[in-house]
Amino acid sequence: MTLLSYDRYCDEILAQTDALRATIEGADLTATVPSCPDWNLRQLAVHVGGAHRWVGEIVRSRATEDIPEEKVPGFEGPGSDDPAALDAWLAEGAAATVEALREAGPDAEVWTWAWERRTTFWARRMAHETVVHRADAALASRAPYTVDPEVAADTIDEWLRIVSFAQEGGDPEADELRGGGRSLHLHATDVPAAEWLIEFGEDRFTWRHAHEKATVALRGPLTDLMLVFNRRLEPTSERVEVLGDAELLDFWLDRSSFG
């Protein structure tokens, strides 16, 4: 499996935002988000829309350093509690950010917090930020949730890269994801070749797409694997199956719970 195209990431920011808007339309915006219990549904939506605007400002200005939230126009949300104002604010922010990304192109140099200082990083990050938080919104509003297989697989790929980056940077929790002889296998039962093997080396973990026996295996539909991996679905759910050392899977999920 390979990265999606830059244009596809831009398309997904718009599509996932539209799906998020549809999910919260008519829902109780004061409802607590089970997977992010410090937020209600409105606060979750403002977080997503604020992230879009923050990235849009970084890209538009070709920022060479982080931009404080208070310097991002409209970051704090719409000036009204009216659900229609929130809906319009979400749509406008996503559209403006995608416009900035498309104008810049995939290789423009900008500040990021990560391993890659290009607009490609932000297009991918905002697509998956919206994918995962749309799952949060679906949980809070008890709405159905589906993701295109290519997008779900890339969400897993990107999260593995983020956890690896955290380990490389000395994050204390990610640093514990090592120790020879242990491995974790993710196996999608509905998408051919959607498999991941995570191996715990002495100094760090590595991962690759492979079908091999592991210390623990997580099997199920690809979307559900992605949700478990992002801690939006419990591994004890009837929608997935855990074979082998379930404690190792719990260990991974606990140590990769930052972000």
Write the DSSP assignment of 127-159 as a string of letters.
HHHHHHHHHHHHHHHT------HHHHHHHHHHH
Residue 153: is its pLDDT beyond 70? yes
pLDDT, mean of residues 227-239: 96
One-letter amino acid identity for 103? E
At 257 the pLDDT is 83
At 27 the pLDDT is 96
The pLDDT-based confidence of 258 (bands split at 50, 70, 90) is low
At 2 the pLDDT is 58
Kind of pairing between the strands at 182-188 and 216-220: parallel
Cβ–Cβ under 8 Å, residues 258 and 171:
yes
What is the chain's mean pLDDT, rounded?
A: 96
Residue 1: is its pLDDT beyond 70? no
One-letter amino acid identity for 182? R
pLDDT, mean of residues 110-121: 97
The two three-digit tokens of residue 167, written as one number: 């380990």
- Residue carrying the six token digits 């979307």: 223
At 250 the pLDDT is 97
CB atoms under 10 Å from CB of 142, counted, come to 9
At 209 the pLDDT is 96
pLDDT, mean of residues 200-206: 95
pLDDT digits (tens, 9 = 90+) for 27-68: 999 999 999 999 999 999 999 999 999 999 999 999 999 999
pLDDT digits (tens, 9 = 90+) for 125-140: 999 999 999 999 999 9
Residue 232: is its pLDDT beyond 70? yes
At 92 the pLDDT is 98
* Helix, strand and coil percent figures for the chain, each rounded to 5: 50, 15, 35
How many residues are present in the chain? 259
At 110 the pLDDT is 98
